[in-house]
Structure 1
């Protein structure tokens, strides 16, 4: 093509692919007007026709398949992929997802905004939030409760999304959600309290390696607050995320979560107006605002106002635009003739290779929790198999899954597999079939019979027997069986059937809380009654006893497979946490009834999160778990149940016992609360890393290249793994470290490395692990840095966090840690060693943490260990107190059993108005001591300083 035939807009230097990327970005940025740059800060970026620049949109969901754009290959949920412990597999899955996203980008119009450009190639995945609490409604979206495991799989998924080209990205992966986001109830107003050790060793540790590797191109800020400050204005975006990325050659493009910038004003009330809130987010590092849907004018107007008021500068705007342009250039937008991925077409979507990969992923993520010899099902048990349960013959989509192109259910998979062997599958859902007849009109609700499924907490779905469609609350408050697949943000297909007098039932919508009522004149049923008294009484007639039918099928079978679990959009989902880990009562009763007549019963739990399976573990011969595994779930599970494939998964999180009282959902201090395998003391039902095999493995000959290293050293650990069984199989070799006699509250174990190995019968392999000393590091609050203490450690090879098989001692050498120097040094209150009843809060809106009592009526206690207090004669405290509250506000300092200072805290009038108060110690101090600081009332403490002389001004 000659220059004469090239449009003038294409002759600008930013079109020259031979120029360095930075120069191209500089050129394009310089050609954009200030207003055009401002417009680029909203999710829907308009085209710039005069420069030949197309419209751009941030964000396509790609968690375990392309979502929301139509039929696409659906892989297992992220928690299921996490159970595979297989980095190579996750990379392949992400490659498939990114290829399909490229196909949608090229051939399909955008799903939401037809006039706002093609489908986005910015992939909002993976989710790196740690699965601290198994009750989290979005548990299905994360990989693991462990940061090393999560970071490794997250890096692999990012690399698969991005591709291997040195210049161009296949898609641009964005990490979700920064930071410490693990609860749905009140997610936009609750604060995750992160003491420095938890922040550095746990929550940041999942993100840090992924960003530092260069695998990720962006991140999304989380809805919640951290230490009282919204994540969208957190200094951690610049101080941590972008600092880690500096060595990669590219800055992270940070996007907001949906509507979160507006949340800064309402409901968080953190800023007085939206211009101020949006300005603060931009200055904190948010580059693009996903807010107000397609309405760019509102968001851009707020940012324009912020610019006019001097709350942000043009440089702030330009920095954000630069980061966006960096990603757009790397995605090949300005070099279509050089983009190696531009030719990907629609034939890749749900292609045979991707279907086979989906099946493999489902197999690799299936976890055998218990097996007393029932599995794999042999020929004596497969002549007639009863497949029972609400999930036995259906597959569910979750909010971030694609539209299933087909559904291979467990019953389908077993039917296909056993058909060639002359076996028979009997399908029994186990649900009651009922009618609900109005006592006012005598008419049947919906004019039909319904199959009822219990999803827990008395939440039911009613599926019309003839059509298979779910009863749904319509927009006009009527009821109709209209839903084929439950997948909408507002779930209108769930109901309570509440008992009333004389055996009647009331029909109550879970979505609105209102009851069904009948117009006595016309007989029209609407869900409009506000109270039980105004509700219609229905007579519930059972046409089919689901439990009796299941029992009969099981009794007449050689074996039973009962498939139980959750629906991803009911009782635990985005915006809703679970209240416990119990199986739905109706499902548990069904399981017990089947097991009573057919001891050869295998339980398959298909769920987005762990359940307390105490009864099943005690009474059944076999228990398996799979996440909602996508379109190939049934084929994969049939292969595992029949022994055509190995159950190759291992648990990515702890499955607690039902009687084990879990910490409060908002207690993010995993150390004090005792979260995850690292700190939980009670024995779990199934531990992190647990998973059985159909073959046997032997671990032997653990050897360390060094038995002693210094704090900057490293060692190699080797061992031999042998398959001593009669079948090929996979083992996940897990390497943990443990600090012995630590001066801090150390984890019971901490995962340091892992590898997944497949061996043939009789095969053995030597495995090697390289362990730098930083694998033994902890965050030292005294120095504000990671440190490796000298002392005794153990290297532990394990099959799970509760199943060690080999150990080796290790000594780290070096001088002993010095006492914390505090004289004439500012000690942050948040840098405590231990705490009780405290809450971490923001010292200012832009930076710093402080500590306050979690409940002003109950004092908070902070403990600081091994302080060198020699010569201390006074103490200065930095405090704030918003108003006169519940009694006196004071601080008490105690060394050992001796009180040394009491300080009354004055009212400063505002939580961000800080004052310094000085108090003489009751006695001069000498030597090294432990210090206890007690906070009473509404006091906020940012820091304290011990002085050696009485010279305060």
Structure 2
């Protein structure tokens, strides 16, 4: 008998000369049904007889290797994006890939399927996970994500260092109710704004996997969105591996209630193209049982399972799992925290610093005395997806290294306090090696003194002054042993209640329980008080007021840097959208104290944050600087820019709004109608996309296009480009690093067109130098999605190319005239048209036509009626209307068909139905009335999936070729899939 545990060396799947796809297909044929089903779970067992090791999907590498011990921590992605430098991001991705391979060398269970980058465009600044993305612009997002993913992947033609996974498909920009909200992505928004961020890295073969998002899109869970996943699969020549998000498979039944049965739901997910179930942690039992039952009930074919397993195996083969001797990316386990990675972390931290305003305060003059105050004077904080850095360098430390101790003063603004228990009469201290908090201390003891810092939304942290360790209530018994705020639910924050007599009670924010002092010998603090009545009261003695320390540090300083911002675990993060867009009041108070204490100083507002803020108009700063949480080298990177050792190169990849009112509804995904992002905004931002200052003085002199006319209207633009030569000059005394940007606008376009970034280039200019910068504008970037023919087109007309330093600073203009055939009238007669493909949607929402395919429209929640408008339709010869309809529930349900043509006349071939106008409304722009030409009643009975075809005859009229707009008004419980005018 042969040894079945030893693979046959002649087996085709072991032949490295064969393609990964061929090898994967051969392997699938050798697996048993049970082995294949087991591989569908995130924790797949080994198949020793075939040489396959145990496999786990997913390792987190968002901006460094996370959750696997010590690793280099780079700036957050939103900070890396501020470099606008694909080469830098590729080098960062390369370093992270090396360190992930080192972790894999130490522990082969570490997956080489890495879950990064996040490519969701930053549509709205209130999204809690803003820090994880790159830019509000989908093409810039794609460019930078492609670069980072290329670094993770490596450049070998056959083998991949890791397989990057793009997160999260699709329409995912809110944490509020994230598993049950439906993102409305009408076709233009989907094609023009959402998809490019995903398809860019896939077309470049920089990523080999995608993670489906928790939410629904157009009424269907993303884990069932086969039509959307197919669009991504069409973008890559490789087999695309699609993983679920954690616990999402169960949500389809338990939260979204899209299916009533987990077996049906799992079968539907497999049919839609989900290849791996991230569910129930290490317990594969529920997943394998559900898939087995789906097979037995005939809900899914084994061929569908084979397809999913083949995609996983192809990915694993690409990482060299079966060819260890040929794998070019093997590194030793100690390839962590390499000197070149430290240097790169510092470079990345400096390159992402953005100087937003500067009235001569920066760079800091030689010999200046600098006061650094505020919560980020020395703190370096981590977010949920950060790794464990080998070290951190804060701003004050780095400035002291550079300027000397005598030139740097520091105060973080925290109050140093003693909390005396009303029960014991003694001070709270951290006791023993376990750092347990007990109320038996002496107020003079350093262990009984605590620094209290107020963050977002009334959340406080308390840390022992002598150790710097934070209080935590994570284990019921309160300790002071945490090095940072962290955890899926942050355990290191407290809410304060001040009683009428001035005593405090403290509520542990993570559990909602109040701190109580036990009746034991030490007076141990425990977080178990159910109500305020059960809470301990503490008398508070202020040892040192934070405001006084700030005043002392600022008094007599030449430059005052007030370092404010957010803790990435508070006030916005995964599972929590931002509660406010403004700086917390406690931090603004620190600014006012610092400004008042040093009227003669230059004041620099430094914002260290995961997202933009709406800055108060009364923040009268001499300079404003932003950086994301910049990783382990934050302090050095900031110092390099503030003192002028590095020229500021950072530019915003996301605009900062001027007013809270300007940002719109977080849950409104129709960026066109909602005027979201730079593309469609009508309100001017405080700081625009691409904004950032240099220490030089760059002047834009001229722009010369290679062509001013392009005769290719009606096509998608293809690979054609327009070249621009932009002449700039540095009139300053320092070398300037300028980011030359080009934005396209089409003021006469028939559709809302927006303001699009279409090209950019970075150039370094010596003082007094003039440079011609060559930029190439892909004409495909001018295209819009033609909903009438389901394709991209560049329409005829004039396109204005603005050139300058940001979306709001475009001193140069070049016009491009596109000639050719315009988009023809929409064909409605004899052709069923999806209601979702309308030109305008009002008070309706997109919804799933069936559980697996198609999109329909229905009246939006809390609305009695809604409508869709199809513009410029060819109505010639129409004699009847036919629609496919269903119901959302009982009650009134009908569709009213209205027509509007020039001059208010009903067009030839379309007669008026009895009943006159619908509501007597008129279009405000043209003052032409809408005329009701048919009413279609939705049959009673049936559910949301019970689609019926209904028809209404129209009185015949004379033949002709009229053009008009058609409005379909949905009333009550009506759902509408398609409409057709019939001859």
Find 1:882's aligned residue among 869, 888, 910: 888
The secondary structure found in structure 1 opposite 2:510 is: coil
Please state if 1:398 is matched with 2:377.
no
- For residues 88 and 728 of structure 2, what CA distance do their matches in structure 1 show? 21
Out of 902, 913, 916, the residue aligned to residue 935 of structure 2 is: 902
Q: Compared with structure 1, are the counterparts of its residues 55 and 328 closer, same or farther at alpha carbon in structure 2 (3 Å cutoff)?
A: same
Q: Confirm or deny that 1:332 pairs with 2:323.
A: no
Q: CA deviation at 1:459?
A: 1.3
Q: Deviations over 1:587-643 (max 9, x none)?
A: 011012111222411111111001111336x50000100000011110111111101
The 3 A distance-change label for structure 1 pair 415 and 305 is same
TM-score, L = length of structure 1: 0.94
Match of 2:898 in 1: 893
1:627 equivalent in alignment to 2:661 = no
| Aligned partner of 2:278 among 271, 274, 290 | 290
Provide the rounded CA distance (Å) in 2 between the counterparts of 1:888 and 1:781: 27
Match among 744, 751, 760 for residue 754 of structure 1? 760
Match of 1:938 among 973, 980, 983: 973
Give TM-score, length-normalised by structure 2: 0.91
| Alpha-carbon distance in structure 1 between the residues aligned to 2:973 and 2:530 | 41
Equivalent of 1:413 in 395, 398, 410: 398
Number of the residue aligned with 1:112: none
2:302: which partner in 1?
A: 314
CA deviation string 1:493-543 (max 9, x = no partner): 111112333333331222222323445687554333333344333333322
Structure 2 CA distance for partners of 1:104 and 1:784, relative to 1, 3 Å: same
Query: Do structure 1's residue 243 and structure 2's residue 231 form an aligned pair?
Result: no
Return the match for 1:345 from 309, 327, 332. 332
Could you say which residue in structure 2 is the equivalent of 1:378? 365
State how far apart, in whole Å, the 1-side matches of 2:376 and 2:759 are: 35
Q: Could you tell me which residue of structure 2 aligns to residue 74 of structure 1?
A: 73
- Give 1:8-87 correspondences, 5 Å limit: 8-87=7-86
State how many pairs are aligned.
Answer: 925
CA distance in 1, matches of 2:104, 2:138: 33
For residues 816 and 19 of structure 1, the distance between their equivalents in structure 2, rounded to whole angstroms, comes to: 49
Structure 1 residue 687, shift from structure 2 partner: 0.9
| Partner SS, residue 353 of structure 1 | helix
Instruction: Provide the residue aligned with 1:467 in structure 2.
Output: 467
Q: How far apart, CA to CA, are the structure 2 residues paired with 1:759 and 1:241?
A: 41
Equivalent pair of 1:883/1:907 in contact (CA under 8 Å): no
Find the partner of 1:442 among 425, 450, 465.
Answer: 425
Aligned to 1:704: 705
Distance between the aligned counterparts of 1:459 and 1:40, measured in 2? 44
**Corresponding residue for residue 538 of structure 1:** 538
Cα distance between partner residues in 2 of 1:612 and 1:923: 59
Q: CA deviation at 1:668?
A: 0.4
Q: Could you tell me which residue of structure 2 aligns to residue 114 of structure 1?
A: none
CA distance in 2, matches of 1:539, 1:321: 63
The answer to whether the 8 Å contact 1:454/1:585 transfers is: no
Whole-angstrom CA distance in 1 between matches of 2:888 and 2:812? 56
Show the 5 A alignment for 1:817-832.
817-832=823-838
1:188 aligns to 2:189 (yes or no)? no
Unaligned runs of 5+ in 1: 110-116, 949-953
> Is the contact made by 2:758 and 2:778 (CA closer than 8 Å) also made in structure 1?
no
Matches within 5 A, 1:467-616: 467-475=467-475, 477-518=476-517, 523-598=523-598, 599-615=601-617
Q: What is residue 695 of structure 1 aligned with on the other side?
A: 696
Instruction: Measure the CA separation in 2 of the matches of 1:466 and 1:751.
Output: 51
Post-superposition Cα deviations, 1:533-557, rounded to whole Å, max 9, x if no partner, equal: 4433333332221012102211232
Work out the CA distance in 2 between the residues paired with 1:932 and 1:890: 10
| Larger displacement relative to structure 2 (758-767 or 812-821) | 758-767
1:912 to 939, 945, 949: 945
Shift of 1:153: 0.6
Which range moved further: 835-844 or 720-729? 720-729
Indicate conservation of the 8 Å contact 1:471/1:480, yes or no. yes
Kindly indicate whether the alpha-carbon contact (under 8 Å) linking 1:881 and 1:940 is maintained by their aligned counterparts in 2: yes
Q: Deviations over 1:246-301 (max 9, x none)?
A: xx3x1111111111111111111111222211111111111111111111222122
**Contact residue 397 and residue 404 of structure 1 kept, 8 A:** no
Q: Is the 8 A contact 1:9 1:50 kept in 2?
A: no
1:743 equivalenced with 2:750 (yes/no): yes
The answer as to whether partners of 1:890 and 1:937 remain within 8 angstroms in 2 is no
Separation in 1, partners of 2:355, 2:632 = 20
Aligned to 1:458: 458
**Cα deviation code 1:706-748 (max 9, x no counterpart):** 110022554222222333322123111111111121111111x
Quote the Cα distance in structure 2 between the aligned partners of 1:608 and 1:732.
Answer: 23
Q: Distance in 2 between matches of 1:27 and 1:816?
A: 51
SS at structure 2 position matched to 1:615: coil
176-185 or 262-271, which deviates more: 262-271
| Root mean square deviation of aligned Cα | 2.1
SS of the residue corresponding to residue 382 of structure 2 reads coil
Match of 1:846 in 2: 852
Q: For 2:765 and 2:337, locate their aligned partners in 1 and report how far apart those are by CA, in whole Å.
A: 31
- Pick from 921, 924, 928 the counterpart of residue 963 of structure 2: 928
Distance 1:945 1:154 in 2: 42
CA shift in 2, pair 1:423/1:694, >3 Å: farther
Say if 1:521 and 1:345 are closer, same or farther in 2 by CA, change over 3 A: closer
Corresponding residue for 1:650?
651
Distance 1:8 1:497, change over 3 A: closer
Residue aligning to 2:806: 800
For 1:170, which of 161, 170, 181 is the aligned residue? Answer: 161
Q: Could you say if the C-alpha distance between residues 8 and 840 of structure 1 is closer, same or farther in structure 2, counting changes exceeding 3 Å? A: closer
Shift in Å, 1:890: 4.9
Structure 2 residue 339 is the aligned partner of structure 1 residue 357: no
Partner SS, residue 503 of structure 1: coil
- 1:427 corresponds to 2:410: yes
Are the equivalent residues in 2 in contact too, given 1:908–1:915 (CA < 8 A)?
Answer: no
CA distance 1:731–1:518, change in 2 (3 Å): same
SS at match of 1:379: coil
Deviations, residues 214-239 of structure 1 (Å, cap 9, x unaligned): 22111111111101111111023443
What is the match of residue 113 of structure 1?
none
Aligned 8 A contact 2:7 2:49 in 1:
no
Please tell me whether the aligned partners of residues 460 and 495 of structure 1 are also in contact (alpha carbons under 8 angstroms).
yes
Q: What whole-Å deviation, never above 9, does each CA across 1:93-141 have from its counterpart, x for those lacking one?
A: 000110111111112x3xxxxxxx5211111111100101111111000
Q: State the Cα distance separating 1:765 from its structure 2 match.
A: 3.3
